[in-house]
Amino acid sequence: MNAGPPGLRRITLASRARLMTERASAVLAGIWPHANLSAADPPAGPALSPRQLTRGLARRTRAAALARLNRLPCFQAADYAALNPDVEAAGFDAAFHALFIGAIEGRQLFRRDRLARALGGLNGFAVCQTAPPQQPVPVGIYVSSLGNVFMQDIARDLADCLAAAGVPVTLRDEAAPAARRPPFNIFVAPHEFFALGRGPAWVRDDVVSTAVMLNTEQAQTPWFATALPFLLAARGVIDLSAQHTALFANAGIPAHHATPVPARSLPRLNSAVRAHPLYRALPDAALLAADPAAPLTARPLDIAFFGGHTPDREAWHARNTAFLASYNTFFYDRRQGDGPLRAGTPDGALSALASHVCGHSKLLLNLHRDEFGYFEWHRIVRLGMASGCVVVSEPCPPHPVLLPGVHFFAAAARQIPDLIEWLLRSEDGRQRAQEVQEAAADALAYALDPACTGHALMAFLLQAASR
């Protein structure tokens, strides 16, 4: 970030980013003043094991999940055996090992070229045709209290959409009594819920096979692999990616694409946010509460980025450090070894802080984690559009409502600096950015109205239950 008097603007982006990373790491290590992580450490307990997974699911549920795995366009048992030669040597059935052992171990399940071809050929969107009931049935949304706070954001947004549709909804975690589940249940981020803390105790056939799972992960990642047994054993799947939704639908799984829209207001600046070292690094003009409706010209920060560190992102940042140094920027590149942003830790405030920073920024940069394109809902919609920040992204797979050039900007990674310069430095670029900001706000208010999203979700729950 570059801010302050002209004499201080020679501070390089790299040195400031290094300082921010060191401070954030110090917080996580417990050496920053007032840091206290002990209260948020997960309770001791056994991790989910392949044996517990297979014993928790009934034989018919395991058989159905295996049949679905073999219908996934991106999976071939021969591919898995070739990627994991020890499996065949040990005499395991490749598909069984992939789903009930390798997935829990975080092994690579798919050949990357086959996965790319499968996702590239999926442009259809699963649409639920069932009308919601006149008397909505209670729904429980479950999310791990020990996982990434971003998953809790998704769960709250989903609950708000259902509530806007008049659905009685409760938000719960792994400490809730399983015997008191509502008639319909959604488990957000099953790779976290069933693996952390008391989550493994929920691996029961009467829970998993009757629930709907909300997948939050990209198919090439180990977190998707960990989630896959629960996705394939469930009554149905909700996905934030239209292409992943079609992937599941092609395997014969009831699947629904959802874009939960957060409230058009930014999180309150509580004491945890104000105490965070990254908040204290903001310029004075960005310390006050942000307004999502503020025009771009009134925003003190030019460009923001929040994301996990990957080699592709690091390479882009390295190539463009000199270019970015001439703008007021706020970049947070989180190292994978730093772990999830857990509620109750100092960095649990980073979700609210990210929304606050975006509310003060003109542009939000969206770079994919690797060569697989993905419509990053949390960054594009929740952080960017809901904060009134204009998103500049690498090309994404198509979204059924939000369009490049209309609701956000998209360009190849090498062209993004030129696009940013046009949007921030030229009169016609600034005018175009303002038009996109307004179009995105309209889409979130009307085309993706929370009540309509909630009605569609409830209709899908009923449709999945009827199969």
Identify whether residues 30 and 54 lie together within a single domain.
no
**What is the dihedral angle through the alpha carbons of 343, 347, 353, 354, rounded to the nearest 10 degrees?**
-100
Domain of residue 17, CATH code? 3.40.50
Residue type (1 letter), 288: L
Q: Residue 436: helix, strand or coil by DSSP?
A: helix
Residues 148, 204 within the same domain: yes
Domain co-membership, 283 together with 418: yes
Residue 45 forms part of a structural domain: no
Q: Range of 12's domain?
A: 6-36+262-447
41 in a structural domain: no
Percentage of the chain lying above the pLDDT 90 cut: 66
257 and 362 share a domain? no
In a domain, 44, yes or no: no
What are 365's strand-pairing partners? 392
Please check whether residue 289 lies inside any domain of the structure: yes
- Cα angle value 71/73/74 (rounded, 5°): 120
121 and 251: one domain?
A: yes
What residue spans of 345-403 are helical by DSSP H?
350-359, 377
Q: What does pTM read for this prediction?
A: 0.85
Give the model's pLDDT for residue 263: 66
CA distances from 77 to 66, 230, 247, 449 (A): 11, 19, 17, 42
Task: Please provide the average confidence, as pLDDT, over all residues in the chain.
Answer: 85
Closest by CA position to 234, among listed 206, 259, 272, 264: 206
What is the pLDDT at residue 30? 29
Give residue 10's pLDDT. 32
Q: b/e for 148-158, b at 16 or more Cβ within 10 A? A: bbbbbbbbbbb
Question: Are 168 and 241 in the same domain?
Answer: yes
- Mapping DSSP to helix (H, G, I), strand (E, B) and coil, where does residue 464 land? helix
Per-residue pLDDT averaged across 29-33, rounded?
27
pLDDT tens per residue across span 281-326: 899 999 998 999 999 999 999 999 998 888 999 999 999 999 999 9
**What pLDDT, in 10s, does the model give residues 81-126?**
999 999 988 889 999 999 999 999 989 999 999 999 998 877 655 5
Same domain, 21 and 123: no
Provide the b/e sequence for 47-76 (b: ≥16 CB within 10 Å): ebebebbbebbeeebbebbbebbeebbbbb
CB 125 within 8 A of CB 249: no
In a domain, 406, yes or no: yes
Q: For the chain, what is the domain count?
A: 2
Residue 90 sits in the same domain as residue 232: yes
140 bridge partner residues? 170, 185
Residues 251 and 266 occupy one common structural domain:
no
The dihedral sign for the CA sequence 150, 362, 450, 259: negative
**Non-local CB neighbours of 193 within 8 Å, separated by 6+ positions:** 142, 143, 144, 147, 174, 187, 199, 202
For 65-200, strand residue ranges (E) read 139-142, 169-172, 184-188
Question: Residues 226, 320: one domain?
Answer: no
Of 346 and 411, more confident: 411
**Are 329 and 187 in the same domain?**
no
User: What is the helix, strand, coil percentage profile of the chain, to 5?
Assistant: 50, 10, 40
The token pair that represents 34 in the structure block: 């007032």
pLDDT, tens digit, 9 for 90 and up, residues 51-73: 999 999 999 999 999 999 999 99
- DSSP states of 407-425 as a string? TBEE--GGGHHHHHHHHHH
Residue 113 lies in a domain: yes
In a domain, 26, yes or no: yes
pLDDT band with cut points at 50, 70 and 90 for residue 150: confident
**Residue 42, domain member (yes or no):** no
| 83 and 15 together in one domain | no
